[in-house]
């Protein structure tokens, strides 16, 4: 369903430019499937970002989940679907990959990954609630008109 396009690709290991043929998201095809009364259309596959993003916060290649779905009443339907999806992934990793996780943890020590389970469900905060938490933590409210990475680093550095 995807089409491909030519992109100039920079190889760090070879310090050269080359050609790469990258897939585009089949956005139009997914939207047509939704219009044809498919309620949800998923695509899971490799994603290659054709941009200079050689930083610790960017991945140029990863496996992505591309989702298109109808919304019957409210955008919370999408939030609930993604919440259930992530909970399923986390439980599956815990239940089916615990040995592999322990092997990785020996090489890269880290605390056990935790998430909220039970009737209270996943914690969901509104933008206003997040701003109030940051203000209570000492971030000036006027700095929060546009939450920048530096603001998030400030807060993350002060969390226990």
Please list the alpha-helical segments (H only) found in 66-125.
76-96, 98-107
17 neighbors 10 (Cβ within 8 angstroms):
yes
Give the pLDDT score at 160.
Answer: 44
Task: Give, in order, the Cα–Cα distances in Å from 110 to each of 55, 99, 105, 106, 113.
Answer: 22, 15, 6, 9, 8
Gap between the Cα atoms of 52 and 10, Å rounded: 8
Gap between the Cα atoms of 67 and 111, Å rounded: 31
Give the pLDDT score at 63.
Answer: 85
CA dihedral 137, 142, 148, 151 (to 10 degrees): -20
Among residues 52, 40, 53, 43, the alpha carbon closest in space to that of 23 is found at: 43
Domain boundaries, given as residue ranges, for the chain:
1-70, 72-122, 125-160
pTM of the model: 0.63
Q: What average pLDDT values come out for the chain (160 residues) when binned by 10 residues?
A: 66 75 75 91 79 66 86 91 92 95 93 85 88 88 70 55
């Amino acid at each position: 369903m995807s089409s491909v396009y030519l992109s100039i690709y920079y190889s760090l290991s070879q310090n050269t430019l080359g050609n790469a043929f990258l897939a585009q998201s089949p956005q139009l095809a997914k939207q047509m499937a939704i219009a044809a009364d498919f309620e949800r259309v998923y695509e899971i596959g490799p994603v290659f970002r054709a941009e200079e993003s050689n930083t610790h916060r960017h991945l140029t290649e990863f496996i992505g989940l591309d989702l298109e779905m109808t919304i019957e009443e409210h955008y919370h339907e999408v939030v609930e679907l993604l919440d259930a999806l992530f909970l399923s992934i986390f439980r599956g990793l815990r239940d089916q990959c615990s040995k592999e996780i322990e092997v990785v943890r020996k090489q890269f020590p880290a605390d056990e990954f935790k998430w909220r389970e039970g009737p209270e469900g996943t914690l969901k905060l509104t933008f206003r609630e997040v701003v109030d938490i940051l203000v209570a933590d000492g971030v000036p409210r006027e700095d929060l008109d546009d939450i920048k990475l530096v603001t998030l680093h400030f807060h993350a550095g002060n969390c226990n």
